[in-house]
Amino acid sequence: MSPLLALVCLAGLLMVLLYLSGVRRRRPGEHPLVRGWIPYFGKTFEFSRDGQSFLKRLQEEHGDIFTVLIAGRYLTFVMDPHVYPVIERHGKHLNFQAFAMQGSELESMIESTTKHLHRVIIRSVQDVKGAISGDENCNGTNGWKTGSLNEFCLATTFEAVWVTLFGSTNVDWLDQEFSTKLLEHFVPYDKAVPLLAANVPISLLRSSRHHRAQLATLLTPSSLSRLKDRSSVVAARTEVINSNGNLDDRQKAAYHLHFLWGSMSNTLQSIFWSIYHLLLHPDAQRAVNAEVTAFLEETGQSPRLGSPLRLGCHQLDSMVALGSAVTESLRLTASTLTIRVAQKDIAMPLPNHGTLRLRQGDWLTLPPYTSLHLNPDVFQEPQTYRYDRFMEGGKPRKTFYKDGRPLRHALMPFGFGATKCPGRFFALLVDKAFLVLLLSHVEIELCPGQVPVEADVSRGPFGVLPPKGDVQFRYRPRPGLAE
């Protein structure tokens, strides 16, 4: 054997020994460990292709608790929702940070969002009213205008939420132009988030790096300084960020981007699914329409082009069919993982599962999309959309069962306990406000011959799953809509 070949073999042997010395092994008392054969990545690729099917298969093989190597981290999955309250009580050993938009601040933001949603929806209505006799998309069919549903939801919601949170130029076309630029880069950047979360260096993602850089340019302090009437939560964050003398403009923009992504990503997808399911199920749309009509009559309001509806948190929460329809859409599409990181080695007794043992740095992971939302033992025919699943006797239904026992948490689209998504109230109310404003101002339906849209499970556990494709829909102003 030549000296060079011997050196190569020795180096290879050393690498194998180093790898084996660092490989985690299951200790006595620990639950099953699934490493995979690829160093560092482990089962990353199987999990990212279809996380739900992957977890169900491991549950069948190993039971309700198992640990998996994913992207260099060891995630311990707990599939039995009955023990989630026990885990919640052990929060002092598991790190989390949370804040929430609630109370008067939330009420103010919903009022502002309603105003801006009204403005952008009415812009679309006026486009139709002015184009009935001439626009090629109206097809000469009684004033219907066609469009792509996801594109419509993205553009409408993004602009309204952006202006609500970050402020306005007070010039309609400037707000539209600026939000359009942001959205142009936000959507492709958002698609790359699962790769970034898997620790893929952004330097390898040329397109994503470009879009992130463009977003950072649009979110610098000088760019945002011309906006007025920003929300109190963004104003407070901006004050803290700007007071840090160690941050340059790019770093400040990065903080704004993180907040923008957290505020927008789930909201945009959720609104698409809510309206799509109403369009796909006429009985659901009729029920929600009836509720919206009753609300307008009770409050003595008429939809008008010139002024928004008076619509607050209480009114939105009082619409039971609307709330149930939105919640059912979330059940079918919200794929968020609830994750807590062990601050030290932990031995946690769990009913019917012995002792859960975590090592310092392990991720304790609860996958409600698999363990609850699509679990046939919790929801009958879980793949089927039923707008009234979360209502009973004209009131919201809150109690569901598994194995004959009530569940404390039957739905977890935003996490649970202290780690719930801080913007969950805002996201839900924006979803409801969008539907109320849209349905009260326009007639809307799917165009004939549309292929059903599926959720893109390859997105992974990063909130509400996006649609794989889009559908064509058509809309026109409601008869008698006043100026």
- Which residues does the annotation place in the binding site? 266, 421
Which residues are CB-neighbours of 465 under 8 A, at least 6 positions away? 269, 333, 334, 335, 455, 456, 457, 459
- Known binding positions for substrate: 266
- The CA radius of gyration of the chain, in Å to the nearest whole number, is 25
Residue pointed to by tokens 């907040």 = 259
Residues in the annotated binding site for heme: 421
Beta strands 33-34 and 65-70 are parallel
For residues 414 and 420, is the Cβ–Cβ distance under 8 A?
yes
Other Cβ atoms less than 10 A from the Cβ of 72: the count is 12
For 284-320, give one letter per residue: b (16+ CB within 10 A) or e.
bbebbbebbeebeeeeeeebebeebbebbbebbeebb
**Residue 403 to residue 385: CA distance in whole angstroms:** 22
Q: What angle do CA 274, 78, 459 make, to 5 degrees?
A: 40
Using the structure block, give the residue that is written with the tokens 């920003």. Answer: 230
Residue found by looking up tokens 């889009």 in the block: 470
Q: Which residues pair with 33 in a beta bridge?
A: 67
Alpha-carbon distance 8 to 387, whole Å? 64
d(CA 292, CA 161): 22
Q: 73-78 and 391-392: which strand pairing?
A: unpaired
Here the tokens at position 257 are 């981007």
| Single-letter residue type at 111 | E
